[in-house]
Structure 1
Amino acid sequence: MDFRILRRMGHFLAVAEEGHFGRAAARLGVSQPPLTAQIQALEAELGVRLLERTRKGARPTREGEALLPILRRLAEEAKQVESLARELRAGRHAPMAMACVTSALFDYLPPLVRGLRSAAPDSALAVREMDTADAVEALRRGEVDFALARLDRDRPPLRVLPLGADALVAALPEGHALLREGGPLPLSALAGEALVLLPRSISPAYFDRQVTACREAGFEPVAMREVGSAMAQLAFVAAGLGVALVSSGMAVLRPPGVAFRALAGPVGSVGVALVWNGERETEAARAAIAAARRAFPAAGDGA
Structure 2
Amino acid sequence: MNNIQTVMVVGAGQMGSGIAQVAAQAGLHVYLHDQKEEFVQRGMATIRKNLARNVEKGKLDETEKDEIIARLHPSTNLEHARETGFVIEAVTENMKVKADIFSRLDAICPPHTILASNTSSLPITEIAAVTKRPEKVIGMHFMNPVPVMKLVEIIRGLQTSDEVYQLTEDLAKEMGKVPVSVNDFPGFVSNRVLMPMINEAITCVYEGVATPEAIDEVMKLGMNHPMGPIRLADFIGLDTCLAIMEVLYEGFGDSKYRPCPLLRKYVKAGWLGKKSGRGFYVYSE
Alignment TM-score, normalising by the size of structure 2: 0.25
Q: Which structure would you say has the larger RCO, counting Cα contacts within 8 Å and 6 or more residues apart?
A: 1
Alignment TM-score, normalising by the size of structure 1: 0.24
Q: Which has the higher strand share?
A: 1
